[in-house]
Amino acid sequence: MNQITVISPDTAEKADVASNTRKVFIKTYGCQMNVYDSNRMSDALASEGYVPTEEMGEADLILLNTCHIREKAADKVYSALGRLRDMKRTRAEHGRELMIGVTGCVAQAEGEEILRRAPAVDVVVGPQTYHRLPQALTRARQGERVVETDYAVEDKFDHLPKVDKARARARGVTSFLTVQEGCDKFCTFCVVPYTRGSEVSRSVSQIVDEALRLVDSGVREITLLGQNVNAWRGESPKGGEWVLGELLYRLAEIPGLARLRYTTSHPRDMDDCLIEAHRDLRVLMPYLHLPVQAGSDRILKAMNRRHTGAEYLRLIERIRSARPDIAMSGDFIVGFPGETDQDFEDTLKIVEDVKYASAYSFKYSTRPGTPGAELGSQVDEAVKTERLERLQALLLRQQKEFAEACVGKTIDLLLEKPGRMPGQLIGRSPWLQSVNVDAKESQIGDIIQVRIIATGPNSLFAERAGS
Ligand code: SAM
Ligand code: SF4
């Protein structure tokens, strides 16, 4: 769930903007969960009269919804805040207000420190408290500099407005839906258990209700999100406990919902029910993001991943026998403290064994407060760079091989948005690849059959099947 930098897209709502309406610009760093949170913040601010804008220059409120997963992410936020300070000063000289807020995981981790380092910031609101953003802005307008990073006792989702159908429609035919937050796994490299807190699952009724609203507004594909999504647990409507697989069976019954996905999963929480859901549910797309992080058992143990490389491979075998066409994706970290050349070779070996359709890979980044930061034997930066290049070359080769194997196949394509060329749309394959095809804009939201005819650097090209 990485490497996305998105500027909040709710453009369609700009239409009926009254000239005195306040505008909010949200810059989203990090993972899909932050994209979801930005949309929900935008919804919460709508009731305060804010409309979203994609032009930072015209905003009355700028929010940086931040990510703290790697070191550079926080650095980027501080340098963005430096630029915003200048913008706020220029605005003040012209007698116009500009409010600045920091939300998300950097807000949670740094709290008051942000106010100290960035005097232009008015509000700092953590990921568990963003339902309190409107009140925080009111207090800031009265002259207070607000930090809201306590874990809220009340359920954030109970206090947020329900997903607005017109806004959901404007965002497109695919949607994220957060079902679980936080993590209890405590991998030794990771800040998530500290910034997002311990695992909390949303209830079945909240999730089903939100999914129904999304589908009702025209959404065809829903991706369930969680830091550790397959640790989701909920009370079954008939009593007893449901696991994620059971939730998927329930959501698959929603008429009009054509596709389901979920991310990100931990190998230890891939239970039989979830694997059976992949076997049974046609709406559950044959794509699974299942990070292994490293191939060496010694490093996996030091990372506290709680499984071995062989166990991971056996798990993938079981998943593939349930759903043979499933595409595997993963995350990798190179240069965890103490990683030797042999350990790194073990990572390459597991990649060779699995054959990934796509993957994300990173150099280990020391996170203060995590056990990994206390370990000696940190790996030299140049060694990390060299290992990352080798790993990425292998992963890229596998991604290309997977894409090339699609050429000639007839597949279902969910048409999502206009393409770069006139008369072209971009859709998603079941395996999450972008596919370009000639089609009319009125067909957005349709699932059509296409034949893949060629591969490009980041996408595939297709023609209508039968043409
Ligand atoms: N919960 C997911 C899991 O268990 O795989 C991943 C969540 S994390 C937000 C996304 C990815 O960031 C991780 O899978 C890992 O590869 C990477 N990551 C986390 N901490 C990191 C660190 N300190 N340095 C480099 N990469 C890191
Ligand atoms: Fe971080 Fe590990 Fe939890 Fe994933 S499972 S969020 S990597 S602690």
Residue 186 Cβ inside 6 Å of ligand 2? The answer reads yes
Q: From the CA of 244, how far away is ligand 1's center (Å)?
A: 21
Q: From the CA of 222, how far away is ligand 1's center (Å)?
A: 23
Q: Which ligand is nearest to the CA of 331?
A: 1
Residue 193 Cβ inside 6 Å of ligand 2? The answer reads yes
Q: From the CA of 275, how far away is ligand 2's center (Å)?
A: 21
Q: Which is nearest to 3 in space by CA: 54, 55, 73, 56? A: 73
Q: Which is nearest to 283 in space by CA: 319, 257, 245? A: 257
Q: From the CA of 359, how far away is ligand 1's center (Å)?
A: 12
Q: Which ligand is nearest to the CA of 2?
A: 1
Dihedral angle, C-alpha 67, 71, 73, 75, nearest 10 °: 130
Whose C-alpha lies nearest to ligand 1, atom 7? 227
Whose C-alpha lies nearest to ligand 2, atom 5? 185
3-class secondary-structure state, position 29: strand
Cα separation, 81 vs 60, in Å, equals 15
Q: From the CA of 190, how far away is ligand 2's center (Å)?
A: 6
Distance, C-alpha 222 to centroid of its chain: 13
Q: Please tell me the pTM assigned to this model.
A: 0.92
Residue 188 Cβ inside 6 Å of ligand 2? The answer reads no
Question: pLDDT truncated to tens, each residue of the chain (467 aa)?
Answer: 433 333 343 433 443 344 458 999 999 998 899 999 999 999 999 988 999 999 999 999 999 999 988 887 788 899 999 999 999 999 999 889 999 999 999 999 899 999 999 999 999 999 999 999 999 999 999 999 999 998 776 788 888 888 888 888 888 999 999 999 999 999 999 999 998 889 999 999 999 999 999 999 999 999 999 999 999 999 998 899 999 999 999 999 999 999 999 999 999 999 999 999 999 999 999 999 999 999 999 999 999 999 999 999 999 999 999 999 999 999 999 999 999 999 999 999 999 999 999 999 999 999 989 999 999 899 999 999 999 999 999 999 999 999 999 999 999 999 999 998 999 999 999 999 999 999 999 999 999 999 999 999 899 999 998 76
The torsion angles phi and psi of 402, rounded to 5 degrees, stand at: -65, -45
Residue 388 Cβ inside 6 Å of ligand 1? The answer reads no
b/e string for 152-179 if b means 16 or more Cβ within 10 A?
A: eeeebbeebeebbeebbbbbbbbbbbbb
Q: Which ligand is nearest to the CA of 305?
A: 2
